[in-house]
Structure 1
Amino acid sequence: METWLGNKSIVIIGGTTGLGFSAAKAFVRNGANVVVVGRNPENCLVAELQLGSTARAKQGDATHPQTAMDAIQLCIREFGSFDGLYHVAGGGGKSLGDGPLHELSLEGWNKTLDWNLTSLMLSNQAAIRTFIGMNKGGSILNMSSVLGFSPARHFSNHAYATAKSAVIGFSKSIAASYAAQNIRVNVLTPGIIEGIDGQQKDSAGFVTTKQALDGGRYGLPGDLDGAAVYFMSDYAKFTTGQNFSVDGGWEVSDGQY
């Protein structure tokens, strides 16, 4: 049976829960070795147990400069190669003051950009430096959100939207710079995922009409797995600088308030 990711060794930043953990399971099913990074030590233990012998978990904070490089080096030590980076880590800063511009706190702004953008810059930098040092190509896949380019008034966390918009610009910029070295950089853009994206209790009716596919619903972590496997695989070897939405129809539907 063909496996899309046979002999690939992939690091997932934010890979012990949610979207990242779902992708890790899909990568392993498709033949990959994986190193997953998460902040919570217990989640790391559970992830490693569930993923099996072709996976390692490492505890670390994605905003710390050495975290991604340590994970990449672990990947090389354990599995003999490093072929791809999937950056999922991020999150909303609502509890720290992210929100509508007239209420947005400086701490909320800074922390949200740090979690969603600075962490991503650091992991991408570590991956690029490693690919160049190994004189090989590779794949980077970054996580954005439909809120970065298709806003809705129910979701007025403006620092989060700014960070997710910047992920796309950053990724396209480095894709252009490193294509000649056969390093691919693409973006996955989910719709509103169940349990994240700063949801408000009164937004469910809007989301289920805005994301009208499959009966109208919130997205689930597994909805992105197929796209993530594709971008990490050699089937995507001629694809870079792309933003691929898995949004249930968000961008092309009129949500009903």
Structure 2
Amino acid sequence: MHDTDETVSTNLAGFFGLAGKVAAVTGAGSGIGLAAAQALAAAGARVVVLDRATVEPDVLASIKGSVPASSLVMDVVDEEQVNAAFDEIKATHGSVDILVNNAGLAIRDAAVNLSLEAWEKVVAVNMTGVFLCARTAARQMIAASRGGAIINTASIMGLSGGGLYPNISYQTTKGAIVNMTRALAVEWAPHNIRVNAIAPTYVRTPFIAPLLAQPDLMQRIEAMTPLRRIAEPHEISPAILFLAGPGAAMVTGHTLPVDGGFLAQ
């Protein structure tokens, strides 16, 4: 017996629909974070944008869904700010069901030249900030007893040694995110909290503006990518949407490369 088109359509909506869910996205003022917020809102989630700077009204307005998006200023490295922001989300919208841990920092320098201050700054944002937000969101999810989904932004540089230019602090912290994702997935599985990560390739965002300004480097990056191009933010967000939704109900502890084949070589 074959499903009718209507049944298939209904099932697909069930795989990706997020109506009634509360989603928090860090580093969502631009780039991958903004694209993720837009995708989650389009799927029906109530989205709260968390960024260290005030999000411009036109940016917030671009996050279109059945429920208007809102924003809070929050620095992921500040534990008090993280706690306060998630408390406000709970008081205003209810407990968080989905967290996209996207805020990140890169200080591209050779290991022998990298200062301890620069190293610690990257570790604070890319590793400690991810932990603080995941821990705070998980506390709400556990208390609410309805599970949840956490998606961390790792990188292809967390699964490879790079080689195109020195970037030791970024590569180290993104590698840590891969294993943090595994460890939290195992620890929180009894609470039906799924923890996954994405590992994007180079994405055309302000984050890689210094690289985009180097045509020779970009040509080398494209040559190392089987699809022969870098990604756009809207090509990363569907992976986040999948991992956040019911269609990924049996996926946890996984890091999903979205890389145009970069890691396949």
Paired residues, number:
246
What are the Cα deviations for residues 113-158 of structure 1, in whole angstroms up to 9, with x where unaligned? 1111111011011011111222231111000011112123213110
Counterpart amino acid of residue 67 in structure 1: Q
Q: How is 1:12-23 mapped onto 2 (pairs within 5 angstroms)? A: 12-23=25-36
Q: Cα distance, 1:191 vs. partner?
A: 0.6
Q: 1:122 to 1:225 in 2, by over 3 A?
A: same
Counterpart amino acid of residue 199 in structure 1: L
Superposed CA RMSD in Å reads 1.8
Q: Is the 8 A contact 1:32 1:54 kept in 2?
A: no
Counterpart amino acid of residue 246 in structure 1: V
Structure 1 unaligned residues grouped into runs of 5+: none
Q: Cα distance, 1:236 vs. partner?
A: 1.0
Aligned to 2:149: 139
Q: Is the 8 A contact 1:12 1:37 kept in 2?
A: yes
Counterpart amino acid of residue 36 in structure 1: V
Structure 2 unaligned residues grouped into runs of 5+: 1-9
Q: Cα distance, 1:77 vs. partner?
A: 3.0
Q: How is 1:51-90 mapped onto 2 (pairs within 5 angstroms)? A: 51-52=63-64, 53-90=67-104
Instruction: Provide the secondary structure at the position in 1 that maps to 2:79.
Output: coil
| 1:238 maps onto 2:238 in alignment | no
Q: Is the 8 A contact 1:184 1:240 kept in 2?
A: yes
CA distance in 2, matches of 1:29, 1:103: 44
What are the Cα deviations for residues 43-65 of structure 1, in whole angstroms up to 9, with x where unaligned? 25333333254211111211111
> What percentage of aligned pairs have identical amino acids?
27
Aligned to 2:5: none
Of 67-76 and 135-144, more deviation after overlay is shown by 67-76
Q: Is the 8 A contact 2:194 2:253 kept in 1?
A: yes
Q: How is 1:123-138 mapped onto 2 (pairs within 5 angstroms)? A: 123-138=133-148
Aligned to 1:210: 224
TM-score of the aligned structures, taking structure 1 as reference length: 0.89
Counterpart amino acid of residue 167 in structure 1: I
Q: How is 1:91-102 mapped onto 2 (pairs within 5 angstroms)? A: 91-94=105-108, 99-102=109-112
Aligned to 2:122: 112
Q: Is the 8 A contact 2:95 2:144 kept in 1?
A: no
Aligned to 1:249: 261
| 1:185 maps onto 2:199 in alignment | no
CA distance in 1, matches of 2:110, 2:257: 25
Q: Is the 8 A contact 1:44 1:59 kept in 2?
A: no
Q: Is the 8 A contact 2:25 2:33 kept in 1?
A: yes
Aligned to 1:38: 51
Aligned to 2:61: 49
